[in-house]
Amino acid sequence: WGPAKQAPTATGDDQSPGNSEQAQHTDHSEDPISSQNTSTPNDDQPTGTADEETGAESSSNDSEQDPSGTMEQSDADDTGSKSTDESAQSGVFGERNTPQEIEDGISEIDDESDLGLADVQRAFVHKLVKNGVLSGDQARFIAKLAMAYNGELEGYDLTQSMDYLERSLGNPDIAGLREQGFIERLGMPFKKKYYDFTEKGWNVVKQIDPDLAKPIGEEQGDLGETGAHRIGVAVTAKYLKQEDRVESVVRYPTERGHEYDVVGYNADGTTEIGGEVWFGSNNRTSAVQDYRDLTQLDGGAIWVVEGVKEVVPVINALVDHSDRFELDTKVNYRGTGPDDGERIYSMDDLLECIQDAHDGYASGMTRIKTLTSLRDEL
């Protein structure tokens, strides 16, 4: 990537990629830090929103690295012109940073903050800055993002905008991190600023600190789960904790042999409500299994979705393939759905249609809410 130095006049645009599903994490024998991987992620711009919490990103966060440190050396350039010692100093994406630059990056870490964070940041700075991959602020951002997804960043949870992670650093150069394929920005349904690691990014995190690898298990996450889904589960869990009859909430529990995104329990330990977070990246054919599993729980069932348009294909898949879903007519919302489907005009309209078909109570879908509406009620 080049030295940590920044060209004072360079600027750039941090365009946000679409909300694509992150590939399932796999181990790679190739060292993602020491390999010359110059691929870049898809930078398609998502739908903008006027009420984005942080507005446009400042140009200081988009400044480019000094081009003088980014030129990849060809075999011809190296032929007989560099000593063995000089070749050993060659970095991954440019020249290796000097010991002083590494020390400067480490010295900027606030020792008076959470000691766990300081230790983790030092490890990331030492590894990534030493190899010339990232600047000190970029390495610290990677460390903070990994801790955020693992629930170990003091004073932060995934229901909050990740603008906080940027503001706490000098110049993490988000555009540069995205260009090198470490992270991607999440688009809709998120109005706030969120980032997720790419597969390459998670591999780097795992190599530097295995304890911060992509979290999997109860209260942690699912295998192959996207960052968007993890954030949706976090928002849903916090929303359910506010309900009067819910004493505790568990994310990613297993009940009666079935896995759920979130379950809320009463004071006596019985199930009050189960939750399914359903975004566009989900496999629509699994909706039948998810609905069946939710009918097995005692209590209600809430589905959290992007919007009415996005949930219509799920409802129609249940009509076609679920013997437990009593609605026998597909639905149509503003052109989404079959032309002969029953017309619906709102989420309340859709839910009423479903409940009427189940004599007032569809056990696998007692509520449907958008992620935005849940946020508004937190």
The predicted structure's pLDDT at residue 118: 83
The C-alpha atoms of residue 184 and residue 198 are separated, in whole angstroms, by 7
Residue 10 three-state SS: coil
Among 302, 217, 293, 219, CA closest to 258: 293
- Supply the pLDDT for residue 315: 96
Q: In 55-76, which positions are buried (b, 16+ CB within 10 angstroms) versus exposed (e)? A: eebeeebbbbbbeebeeeeeee
How confident is the prediction for the chain on average, in pLDDT? 78
pLDDT at residue 299 in the model: 93
Please write down the HEC assignment for all residues of the chain: CCCCCECCCCCCCCCCCCCCCCCCCCCCCCCCCCCCCCCCCCCCCCCCCCCCCCCCCCHHHHCCECHHHCCCCCHHHHCCCCCHHHHHCECCCCECCCHHHHHHHHHCCCCCCCHHHHHHHHHHHHHHHHCCCCCHHHHHHHHHHHHHHCCCCCCCCCCCCCHHHHHCCCCCCHHHHHHCCCEEECCCCCCCCCEEECHHHHHHHHHHCHHHCCCCECCCECCCCCHHHHHHHHHHHHHHHCCCCCCEEEECCEECCEECCEEEECCCCCEEEEEEEECCCCCHHHHHHHHHHHHCCCCEEEEEECCHHHHHHHHHHHHHHCCCCCCCCCEEECCECCCCCEECCCHHHHHHHHHHHCCCCCCCCCEEEEHHHHHHCC
Q: Is cis: bond before 41, omega within 30 of 0?
A: no
Q: How far is CA 2 from CA 59, 92, 130, 300, in A?
A: 20, 8, 11, 54
Q: What is the chain's length?
A: 378
Q: What are phi and psi of 225, to 5 degrees?
A: -75, 140
The confidence score (pLDDT) of residue 136 equals 93
Q: What percent of the chain has pLDDT over 70?
A: 68
pLDDT given for residue 178 in this prediction: 97
Q: Which of 125-129, 231-235, 305-309 comes out lowest in average pLDDT?
A: 125-129
pLDDT digits (tens, 9 = 90+) for 182-201: 999 998 888 889 999 999 99
Looking at residue 34, what is its pLDDT? 47
Of the candidate ranges 105-109, 128-132, 153-157, 259-263, the one whose mean pLDDT is the lowest: 105-109
**pLDDT at 27 (0 to 100):** 44
* Terminal CA-CA length for the chain: 40
Q: Which of 20-24, 189-193, 280-284 has the highest mean pLDDT?
A: 189-193
The strand pair at 300-305 and 271-278 is best described as parallel
Write down the pTM of the prediction: 0.71
- How far from 347 is each of 40, 188, 312, 332, 339, CA to CA, in Å? 38, 18, 10, 12, 19
Question: Nearest-CA neighbor of 33 among 144, 180, 184, 213?
Answer: 180
CB atoms within 10 A of CB 37: 14
pLDDT band at residue 224 using 50, 70 and 90 as cut-offs = confident
Q: How confident is the model at residue 47 (pLDDT cuts 50, 70, 90)?
A: very low
User: Is 250 in contact with 265 (CB distance < 8 Å)?
Assistant: yes
